[in-house]
Amino acid sequence: MLRLGRREFDTHEPVIMAIVNRTPDSFYDQGATFRDEPALARVEQAVAEGAAIIDIGGVKAGPGEEVTAEEEARRTVGFVAEVRRRFPDVVISVDTWRAEVGAAVCEAGADLLNDAWGGVDPGLAEVAARYGVGLVCTHAGGAEPRTRPHRVAYDDVMADILRVTVGLAERALALGVPRESILIDPGHDFGKNTRHSLEATRRLGEMVETGWPVLVSLSNKDFVGETLDKPVKERVVGTLATTAVSAWLGAQVYRVHEVAETRQVLDMVASIAGHRAPAVARRGLA
């Protein structure tokens, strides 16, 4: 059982986490949800299309203009409070690696801290424990926040992913983060080249076998673009194919831009796997 905020999710229940970037320079939407009203409209649409989690980020992952902790908090804290007021049952996640920002968004009503940079600030897990919220434990290959990988190498990329993510999860548990609210993430593209991310996908079942719920953040990433030689705006099909494979291998949470399309993919895979009944079953019965 995965428990986040007011929500509980069964083991085989796929969960969509919709991305809402409060940044003027995000790689995918180029700041479309930087202002409050477009961002709130995005939340409303995502919830209507089937997202259970809203992931709010105040700093883009890639290199760019410096964003201080104070500015990151300014972009996220008030917005978290407003989303909490308008959508009391939605799970609110905040994508941050900073403990001070984590504490501020938890005070505002966040349910989950999405630590995409692999515990670079050990205090973030302590914040999650203090507030009793969830934590995403990600493999980033030891990379510093907002840096790109350069000639990174692993003897065995999945072995390293397991060592880091399970280690972070066990530390979080020891600190007091609720076990049912801890997830692990292989960190596609983070501290990895395209071949590493493909192998991480291919071997995702090894993460599932640890017993920790697995989150994947695949949406329109560079490993999809390089694999198919497609620019950012033409990676949806490749993303959905990777989503289907990840679902078949047992991942549970999917951080995405395209909510409606992802919902259909996850529902189809769940039905093939026997975890979900068809929405309609009339064929051959008339």
Q: What's the pLDDT band for 39 if we cut at 50, 70, 90?
A: very high
- Is residue 282 among the annotated active site residues? no
* pLDDT at residue 27, rounded to an integer: 72
pLDDT of residue 286 exceeding 80, the answer is no
pLDDT attached to residue 32: 85
Q: Given a cut of 90, is residue 16 above it in pLDDT?
A: yes
The reported pLDDT for the residue numbered 66 is: 94
Question: Measured between alpha carbons, how far is residue 9 from residues 15, 39, 109, 151, 182 in Å?
Answer: 8, 26, 20, 39, 13
Confidence at residue 272, expressed as pLDDT on a 0 to 100 scale: 98
pLDDT at 30 over 90: no
Which of 21-30, 103-112, 119-128, 186-195 is least confident? 21-30
pTM exceeds cut of 0.75: yes
Percent over 90 (pLDDT), the chain: 95
Say how far apart CA 112 and CA 91 lie, in whole Å. 8
Of the candidates 75, 98, 235, 255, the residue annotated as catalytic is: 255
User: Does the pLDDT of residue 91 top 90, yes or no?
Assistant: yes
Q: What is the pLDDT of residues 128-157, one digit of tens each?
A: 999 999 999 999 999 999 999 999 999 999
Name, in order, each residue with C-beta under 8 angstroms of 138's C-beta and a sequence gap of 6 or more.
114, 115, 116, 117, 118, 165, 168, 184, 185, 186, 187, 190
**Residue 162 has what pLDDT?**
98
Q: Determine whether 255 is an active site residue.
A: yes
Q: Which helix (H) or strand (E) holds 170?
A: helix 157-175
Q: What pLDDT was estimated at residue 26?
A: 79
Give the pLDDT score at 33: 86
Residue 31 pLDDT > 80: no
Q: Please tell me the predicted confidence (pLDDT) of residue 164.
A: 98
Tens digits of per-residue pLDDT, 214-246?
999 999 999 999 999 999 999 999 999 999 999
Judged against a pLDDT cut of 90, whether residue 25 lies above it is answered with: no
Calculate the average pLDDT of the chain.
96
Number of H helices, E strands in the chain: 10, 10
Mean pLDDT of 52-75: 95
Token pair listed for 163: 């060592």
Tell me the pLDDT tens digit for each residue of 243-256: 999 999 999 999 99
Is the pLDDT score of 174 beyond 80? yes
Active site residue: 42, 98, 221, 235, which one? 221
Mean pLDDT along residues 34-54: 95
